[in-house]
Copies of this chain bind each other. A is one copy, B any other.
Amino acid sequence: MNVSEAIQSRRSTRYLDPTHKLTDDELRKLLSASMLAPSSFNMQNRHVVAVVDQEVKDKLKAAAWNQDHVGTASAVLVFAGRLKAHRATDRFLRDAAKEAREMFEAMIPDFYEGKLELQREEACRTVGLAAMGVMLTARELGYDSCPMIGFDPVQVSEILGLDEDHPPLMMMPIGKATAEPHPRLGLLNMEEVVSLDHFENRAFTGEIEN
């Protein structure tokens, strides 16, 4: 499936076949997509827990206001941040040339250390980038998904054993759709959300291709 088709056909889907299972190869492809997404300074400041065990899915469902698709998904990916990733330069700069490594080692820790809000925002950006790659890959594999923040992060952390450094920032049921998605609630037009050269210049008009 090409990129445009995947983007245009991706919709958040809540009706999933509870009997369907992903193959290991499919799961690895989905996880690889998350890993190849970019991150600030290459910190890769995220950790994904892929939940396929039904008992764990059911616990996550209870922690997500009993939303059905958390229980019926073939896999539920929980995207956690890694807030202190900036401290691990030896990890994410390990293949860097000496000059680049020294430059980044001097720059990165100072940019993030002690700034918890920035660390969390950075993790949210990183998770968003990774999650979109996963959802488009799911489309290519014939699956649908639903990114969610409607869950209790404390309960989810307890269920999955996540620590303070790895807060859950997004949950994503993935599976085989059993129904068409709902009609869109209200896709905004281009002039409402896009400007050209200056915020006040809403130069693009009309609905988008969809």
Q: A residues bordering B, Cβ < 8 Å?
A: 1-4, 6-8, 10, 12, 28-29, 31-38, 40, 42, 44, 46-53, 56, 80, 82, 91-96, 100-101, 104, 117, 120-122, 124-133, 135-137, 139-140, 147, 149, 160-163, 166, 169-170, 182-188, 190, 192-200, 204, 208-210
Complex partner residue of A128 from B92, B128, B136, B197, CB under 8 angstroms: B128
Closest 8 CB pairs of A and B: A128-B128, A132-B132, A124-B124, A161-B199, A94-B186, A3-B140, A32-B208, A96-B185
Which residues from chain B contact A127 at a C-beta distance below 8 Å?
125, 128
- Cross-chain contact B48 with A195 (CB below 8 angstroms): yes
- Cross-chain contact A50 with B195 (CB below 8 angstroms): yes
- Cross-chain contact A7 with B31 (CB below 8 angstroms): no
- Cross-chain contact B3 with A137 (CB below 8 angstroms): yes
- Cross-chain contact B149 with A48 (CB below 8 angstroms): no
**Given the contacts A28-B204, A140-B4, A194 and B91 also touching, CB distance less than 8 Å:** no
Write the chain B residue with the least CB distance to A145: B38
30 sampled A-B residue pairs with Cβ under 8 A: A1-B2, A4-B140, A7-B133, A32-B209, A34-B194, A35-B193, A38-B135, A40-B149, A42-B186, A48-B195, A49-B197, A49-B198, A49-B199, A56-B198, A91-B192, A96-B186, A100-B185, A101-B185, A117-B117, A122-B149, A124-B124, A124-B128, A125-B149, A128-B128, A128-B132, A129-B129, A130-B132, A136-B136, A161-B200, A162-B199
* A141→B117 CA distance, assembly (Å): 36
- Cross-chain contact A193 with B44 (CB below 8 angstroms): yes
- Cross-chain contact A48 with B137 (CB below 8 angstroms): no
With A7-B33, A128-B131, A160-B198 given, name 17 new contacts (CB 8 A). Answer: A4-B137, A29-B209, A34-B194, A48-B194, A49-B198, A50-B194, A50-B195, A53-B197, A80-B199, A91-B188, A95-B183, A95-B187, A104-B185, A128-B132, A131-B132, A132-B136, A160-B199
